[in-house]
Structure 1
């Protein structure tokens, strides 16, 4: 069993020695006769293989601590939307822009993505020869693997920019010593994989245990996002437009984050969790990590002052804060509440703990007691939801000189949370671009999985209304912004452990 577990591990030389993140997916009846020739022969094997590829989304080692304190922290702490607790060690050097290539969160992002890529590569190579599957099911499983491979490369090319592009699972570790590809080639492969996935994936799945699998719409949404990141505005508008009215915004904003509408009408793709600990630990710790110490949490991060000020601008007609304000942050307001960690949990008013808080405001997203098991929960984590698609579509339309149409899409998102609608004709193209970049997206999508940091990165790298990332975070009063160098910190360092194992890897500028 241990031998085969290594076969399902990720790409990346250091990552090759890690344990699979969910061994239960790989359990077989006849472990004694297990080998490479006998494994990829049944439908169960195909399902186990693709499930292992999905499982890498929880982190290369399946640990909730790796998932939050390494990967999530790495994708979030450099952005202008959060301020980290300076007394906690996780991501401390990264947030201060003084990290080197030994910093752990960069390595864990790298290892997690290449674990997913390695597992996806095995599925793509081996599922075609499983003859007991129908052609349709083989194609769908391969499409899922290509979607997951594309998603992981999307994270890598945005995070590190210069990464190896490996499309075959290698058992000979020396064959993993390959140089970095050109970023344009990585983007082209992402597009190719997503087009292949879109062509074969179903619109939806039926049957138990099928929720959370990538659909045709997930492939369309990610492909539209890929076009947007490359400033292919017409392609982005067309592709994202194919999702319009195929999903709906939930009536209650908070139902996106409290576990009540997982894989529901607003969900396009989520990382799946549960409170199950019967075989492996299927929980995530947002509920604990984000909560103030006054409510028995770890108090690891909070909204930045800049983001909090943007929330205060998000008002209803006639005054008062929008639903997405109350659904996102815990702050000094009579209508602001947060659950404690008691069992059963109690809803606590801000005024009750106001004098015991380290900072004056906290995030409430994902801090609900749904699927509780101890201090942690099984609430899913959004990767793409319909509100994000609408805002991306609005951005593409605005760049295509359809500013009024873009305004209408933004208003769909705003009015769901009872925020006052934007006035048609009230914005120039440039003004609406700024509104999208620095109000609508951060307020609607605050602290969601890697969204804000990668937005800042793409606007720094882009050609249309290019924004210096240093200028943005400086103007938004990000702590330690004076340490930031646009030429260096816009990328993660290539992990030193990977360079030690693969001498063909060049270090990114400045590290």
Structure 2
């Protein structure tokens, strides 16, 4: 069962916290000594977690929609996600591009507020105080990692600044952003607990910090593509591998044999889940909207969920569907090949239904009670295989064993001599709709090759542009560029 106490606190904060989205770059002048004691700081830390509420949605639009898993083109071409799908060069004003930037910096501001304000007087128990600091640093690292993967260079705000002060802080090199991320995560590893009592399940653990740190090393080890993006060609696959092995050997997690059970509404916090984002339904204000954003409005209307919302098309690519071998149980669980609308008309447009259970619908299409799996155990296993393949570190036989473990759960036969392309294909099938495909292609050096082969085959409406290396990251949002002339330069390749 979901932890009601922790989620209930988040729900209150989601309703009451004001996100200073009109202030660019994002910052805020402290808390005016609002936080006085341990309880106040527990609420403040929970407020940082509450910033994650839109993370699943924005990852879908900025990652899954960007990849070869979706072909999101409508007849009218007016949806914001279509320009992302199409590799449009004028997306600096796109609402999703700016919303994720704003939200990440809101989370960073909240983390910095805790880190700046917490003291021995306010939180006398050193263990509790150190745990709160570690949570704030884990989440700050989480937000900065999201930023660096999406935008490349970003301004480093490592404590609370006034709006005037932020106008003198330019974007830092990617390597310096990673330095802060790694420093924060190393401290989180040391000071976060391995687990929590039941009333606090859902908070970041030391295992979650190790998992995220391993992904950070894996990502910055990837190729640079000649841009100032997330890859630094640092060759730290051994560091990533050591962290993944630690989690596999010593962690309290496990491989769930039943694939659909990983995502069941009545099976949250199962052994697969290393870190998730907590949601609860029932009119609390903390329900999730991400389960329904991948499905057509007509499907929801036909099933008495939600309300009309105009044209909506986020079609699963034919290439992804064809990538599932006969007998793979994941295809039917992940994808619905069409639906019958309220007029008894069948719409043969495939879409993701991985996170939808119509029997669990809340008050509307924005109110689902399913936690969002950010890092799960299968991801750790597969990233271990990736570290071995990319870094020539570890035992290559382990790669085959990992891939075959995943394939067996999917109902598929074993394979041998797994190479990078076979690995990426299996990872794609496993994590469809979990917004991991784009990042996998980027960090393994395959994104240009794969996407530019896929676009001409899939783009039946001739809307998409071929991509170049500049489109591996997004533009800096235009409202950030205009806040002060010369403070930020736009990422190359964007208008």
Q: TM-score, normalised by structure 2?
A: 0.82
Hey, what's the Cα distance between the residues in 2 that align with 1:52 and 1:177? Answer: 27
Instruction: Provide structure 2 residue ranges, at least 5 long, that are not aligned to the other structure.
Output: 1-12, 222-235, 303-308
Change (3 A) 1:176 1:148: farther
1:445 aligns to 2:435 (yes or no): no
Number of the residue aligned with 2:298 = 293
Determine which of 242, 256, 260 is the counterpart of 2:246: 242
Alignment of 1:263-278 (within 5 A): 263-278=269-284
Number of the residue aligned with 1:163 = 154
Q: Deviations over 1:302-357 (max 9, x none)?
A: 3111111112x2x4xxxxx222222211238xxxxxxxxxxxxxxxxx79999834
Determine which of 363, 368, 374 is the counterpart of 2:352: 363
Number of the residue aligned with 2:231 = none
1:324 aligns to 2:324 (yes or no): no
Hey, what's the Cα distance between the residues in 1 that align with 2:413 and 2:278? Answer: 33
Hey, what's the Cα distance between the residues in 2 that align with 1:73 and 1:252? Answer: 28
Alignment of 1:64-103 (within 5 A): 68=57, 72-87=60-75, 89-98=79-88, 99-103=90-94
Larger RCO: 1 or 2 (CA < 8 Å, sep 6+):
2
Number of the residue aligned with 2:385 = 394
Change (3 A) 1:207 1:82: same
Number of the residue aligned with 2:195 = 204
Q: Equivalent residue of 1:242, what SS?
A: helix
Determine which of 18, 31, 36 is the counterpart of 2:32: 36
Number of the residue aligned with 1:436 = 423
Which deviates further from its counterpart, 77-86 or 48-57?
77-86
Change (3 A) 1:445 1:187: same
Number of the residue aligned with 2:105 = 114
Alignment of 1:349-498 (within 5 A): 356-369=345-358, 370=360, 372-375=362-365, 376-399=367-390, 400=392, 402-422=395-415, 426-427=416-417, 432-437=419-424, 439-448=425-434, 450-460=435-445, 468=449, 470-474=451-455, 477=458, 483-498=465-480
Asked whether the equivalents of residues 279 and 286 of structure 2 are also in contact (C-alpha less than 8 Å), the reply is: no
Number of the residue aligned with 1:506 = 489
Instruction: Provide structure 1 residue ranges, at least 5 long, that are not aligned to the other structure.
Output: 18-33, 61-66, 316-320, 333-349
Number of the residue aligned with 1:21 = none
Change (3 A) 1:417 1:6: closer
Number of the residue aligned with 2:206 = 216
Asked whether the equivalents of residues 292 and 358 of structure 1 are also in contact (C-alpha less than 8 Å), the reply is: no
Determine which of 240, 249, 266 is the counterpart of 1:260: 266
Cα displacement (A) at 1:230: 2.2
Asked whether the equivalents of residues 15 and 115 of structure 1 are also in contact (C-alpha less than 8 Å), the reply is: yes
Change (3 A) 1:408 1:103: same
Change (3 A) 1:481 1:291: closer
Cα displacement (A) at 1:270: 1.0
Q: Deviations over 1:152-207 (max 9, x none)?
A: 11111111112111111113433344111111111122111111100111110014
Hey, what's the Cα distance between the residues in 2 that align with 1:241 and 1:387? Answer: 13
Q: Deviations over 1:439-486 (max 9, x none)?
A: 1111000121x31122222234xxxx7854643544763566861332
Hey, what's the Cα distance between the residues in 2 that align with 1:358 and 1:91? Answer: 21
Alignment of 1:224-239 (within 5 A): 224-231=214-221, 232-239=236-243
Hey, what's the Cα distance between the residues in 1 that align with 2:53 and 2:85? Answer: 22
How many residue pairs end up in the alignment?
446
Hey, what's the Cα distance between the residues in 1 that align with 2:474 and 2:61? Answer: 13
Q: TM-score, normalised by structure 1?
A: 0.79
Number of the residue aligned with 1:30 = none
Hey, what's the Cα distance between the residues in 2 that align with 1:203 and 1:323? Answer: 33
Change (3 A) 1:354 1:366: farther
